[in-house]
Amino acid sequence: MFERGTVMVNAAILGFGTVGSGVAEVLRENAEGIARAVGGGIKVKYILDLRDFPESPFGDLVIHDFDLILCDPEVTLVVETIGGARAAYDYTKRCLAAGKSVVTSNKELVAAHGQELLELAGEKGVSYLFEASVGGGIPIIRPMLSSLAGNRIDEVFGILNGTTNFILTGMIEKGRSFEDMLSEAQNLGYAELDPSADVEGYDAARKICILAGLAFGKGVRPEDVSTRGIGGVTLRDVQYAGEFGFRIKLLGRAYALPEGRAAVYVGPHLIPERSPIAGVDGVMNAIVVHGNAVGECMFYGPGAGKLPTASAVVADMMDAVRDAAAPRNAHWEAAGDGYLVDARDIDTGWYIRTSESLSALRAALGVGKIRALREHSGELAILTENFTQRELSAALGDLNIGSMFMVLG
């Protein structure tokens, strides 16, 4: 348990990668303001990593033995920035069980084991906080738990992955190649260690599961969420979308259905250019929350990167210290079977690009089902009226389809 006043809280950082090193920097750079706000100070006592960092100003804090942290009663606050759900899971459980608060940016771990870790934190009377796990530096978890707590939230969706938004923006605005943009995102510290988690949508899936848990109180597992990444988005699609007055963005989306069920999925969407989220470019993320009292709120900011993510981690560290006597943890319970609707049954408008003829498309979809149409060099792009994916796939049969994305709004 921390003591308030002028006491120095001893913290440990597990994992000295992009985010972990950013946390050490922010704590040092902003030490005075942090100390004032928490009524004491936060001192990094240990940094756990497999590597040594002789060139780093924090190099002398680096240790390789986790038990030193676990068994040190002075360490009451642990930052987990290892990533993944193996060592991070084991260390987090052991720290919480030992009565230490844990703060993390690890969306994979929170999405996979958040419910169990939150329950353990509750039993031990400590904090388990994860503001940095969604939207990088954007405040979204605490606002959903506190500022919007008086609402029944019926929808949350957004651009949840900085790397893919950075890649799409570079392709659209500058005509740069996918590979070129991905390599720049990696150099800037935006991408995951395995960037296929970004590109294939798994990172966004983990984040929308966390948001769905907060919004609806039911844990959703990423493996149960229909997930498509940006791999299938071509420059032709981007151009056609523009001609229709839309931008293409990778969205994670969760909405409640009247019968107590929910739809949760990730995929590229055409978004109307007039919608504020369509203008969210580069590494920026935006999350739209719809509450029955507040209406629609959009949270916008840097979705990845060392210091923005560290900013959210440090704020959680400060909350853990300030709320030591009464931790304010999130809570969700396991969703029963049948809670999620099958994404193939979501009723929505579609964008389709195809080399088939207009008459073949009209025959397949039926009269009056094509809302808009563009044709260039023997290729067609259309926007359809609403269909479920199941209906659309059945109607299109074995027609040759180049791209098919949902249309928002």
| Catalytic site positions | 207
The window from 113-121, 159-167, 324-332, 392-400 that contacts ligand HSE (CB under 6 A) reads 159-167
- Distance, in Å, from the CA atom of 379 to the CA atom of 402, rounded to the nearest integer, reads 10
Q: Is 140 in the site for ligand HSE (CB under 6 A)?
A: no
Q: CB count, 10 Å around CB of 119?
A: 15
Q: Is 136 in the site for ligand HSE (CB under 6 A)?
A: yes
Segment 181-200, which members bind ligand HSE (CB under 6 A)?
190-192, 198
- Distance, in Å, from the CA atom of 372 to the CA atom of 351, rounded to the nearest integer, reads 9
The window from 158-166, 243-251, 314-322, 326-334 that contacts ligand HSE (CB under 6 A) reads 158-166
Q: Is 15 in the site for ligand HSE (CB under 6 A)?
A: no
Amino acid symbol at 16: F
The window from 119-127, 161-169, 212-220, 346-354 that contacts ligand HSE (CB under 6 A) reads 161-169
The site for ligand HSE, by CB under 6 A, has a size of 11
**In the complex, which residue's CB is closest to ligand HSE?**
163
Q: Is 80 in the site for ligand HSE (CB under 6 A)?
A: no
Q: Is the Cβ of residue 198 or residue 316 nearer to ligand HSE in the bound state?
A: 198
Q: What are the DSSP E strand ranges found in 160-274?
A: 218-219, 226-227, 246-256, 262-272
Amino acid symbol at 20: G
CB 209 within 8 A of CB 249: no
User: In 3-state terms, what secondary structure has residue 242?
Assistant: helix
Nearest approach, Cβ of residue 77 and ligand HSE (Å): 22
- Distance, in Å, from the CA atom of 66 to the CA atom of 287, rounded to the nearest integer, reads 36
Alpha-helix runs per DSSP H in 200-266 = 202-216, 235-244
Nearest approach, Cβ of residue 18 and ligand HSE (Å): 9
Nearest approach, Cβ of residue 299 and ligand HSE (Å): 14
Query: Of these, 163, 227, 354, 384, which contacts ligand HSE (CB under 6 A)?
Result: 163
Q: Is the Cβ of residue 309 or residue 403 nearer to ligand HSE in the bound state?
A: 309
Q: Is 161 in the site for ligand HSE (CB under 6 A)?
A: yes
Nearest approach, Cβ of residue 206 and ligand HSE (Å): 9
Quick one: CA torsion of 262, 264, 268, 272, rounded to 10 degrees? 40
Query: Which residues are CB-neighbours of 69 under 8 A, at least 6 positions away?
Result: 12, 14, 46, 48, 63, 75, 78, 95
Query: Of these, 15, 162, 222, 301, which contacts ligand HSE (CB under 6 A)?
Result: 162
User: In 3-state terms, what secondary structure has residue 160?
Assistant: coil
- Distance, in Å, from the CA atom of 338 to the CA atom of 258, rounded to the nearest integer, reads 14
Q: Is 203 in the site for ligand HSE (CB under 6 A)?
A: yes
Nearest approach, Cβ of residue 225 and ligand HSE (Å): 16
Q: Is the Cβ of residue 110 or residue 126 nearer to ligand HSE in the bound state?
A: 110
Q: Is the Cβ of residue 10 or residue 227 nearer to ligand HSE in the bound state?
A: 227
Helices 202-216 and 107-124, axial angle in degrees (round to 10):
30
CB 116 within 8 A of CB 49: no
- Distance, in Å, from the CA atom of 323 to the CA atom of 354, rounded to the nearest integer, reads 56
Segment 290-329, which members bind ligand HSE (CB under 6 A)?
303-304
- Distance, in Å, from the CA atom of 10 to the CA atom of 25, rounded to the nearest integer, reads 16
Nearest approach, Cβ of residue 63 and ligand HSE (Å): 26
Nearest approach, Cβ of residue 135 and ligand HSE (Å): 8
Binding site for ligand HSE (CB under 6 A): 136, 161-163, 190-192, 198, 203, 303-304
